[in-house]
Amino acid sequence: MTDDAVLRTPDDRFVDLPDFPFAPHYVEVAADGVPGLRMHHLDEGPADGPVVLLLHGQPTWSYLYRHVVPVLVDAGLRVVAPDLVGFGRSDKPARHTDYTLQRHVDWVRSFVAALDLHDVTLVAQDWGGPIGFSVLAAEPDRFARVVAANTILHTADPSLAGRLTWALHGEGESRVVIEQALVDYLLHTQRAPELRASDFVAVSAKEPPSAAVLAAYDAPFPDQRFTAGLRQMTALLPLTRGDVGARIGRRTMRALEAWDKPFVTAYSDGDPATRGWDAVFQERVPGARGRDHVTITGAGHFLQEDAGAELGRVVAQVVATT
């Protein structure tokens, strides 16, 4: 990959975004097969406070957590919220094939190591779960607890049959069962001539975000050249047990099945895409047993957008009581 194959969104795209007064910070991250890239993150609150790592998914960026961050800072916590490579203010390889699930894991692992984060509370939503849980599996000593919020872990395991609202599981030796809505979503992201992050946020929000907020979600993508990571992340969804992403997911699930530190689920009541995964995690993760798991009412898939302050209070409570 040459330098001209990496795009960087101009800074003026991020001026005066609604409710987003946070200063940008950058570190260089690494993954096999690609040169070093610049990764953006928020770093708010006391430098010596307990660390909360907020991981977003597709198609959002750290802007998604703008109403979560102040609640955590007021609780005396240090809040670190990166933009995944290809999103937000982070660098964006222009070739879609430069993005793989393993590289996303490696980039976040490199990020955590660059900041030398320890005793981390991981808050993971959407793809932040598969990526963040895999980093935890590789670096368990850096993490102290987990709050899983509207996320999943791609395994295509047959044992998931009947457990999920959006089915995705193996059947027999060579068949899979996949929810039609999931296939439609994947095909749209690959076939649509243009992708706008705001469209996905708008359709899932319980209350329509303002035009200015929707524009903020689109800010990282001045034109379609910048959307390779946005488009490719959906193509990385493992739809079969043989997919490399499913193999990574199963390896990560085995690590979670040995995780006995606190693991709390905070799912909304309005997200069919991840419904059922909270119960799966509660059963399979030792650290989830006996915890006070939370259902956030009146929120959709992006519960940070619909109930950000409430999610922030849940996370602060988990840190304070575990």
Q: How far is CA 283 from CA 22, 30, 253, 276, 286, in A?
A: 38, 35, 12, 11, 8
301 is known as an active-site residue: yes
Q: Which region holds residue 195: left if phi is over 0, alpha if psi is between -120 and 50, else beta?
A: beta
Q: Choose, from 40, 41, 169, 301, the residue flagged as catalytic.
A: 301
Rounded Cα distance, 155 and 201, in Å: 25
Q: Does the annotation count 154 as an active-site position?
A: no
Question: Which of 98, 271, 278, 306 does the annotation list as catalytic?
Answer: 271
| 67 touches 106 (CB < 8 A) | no
Please report which helix (H) or strand (E) contains residue 147, including its range.
strand 143-151
Catalytic residue among 126, 243, 278, 306: 126
Q: Are 249 and 130 in contact (CB under 8 A)?
A: yes
Q: Is 83 marked active-site?
A: no
Distances (CA, A) of 235 to 87, 164, 182, 220, 239: 16, 21, 11, 20, 10
* Residues forming the active site: 126, 271, 301
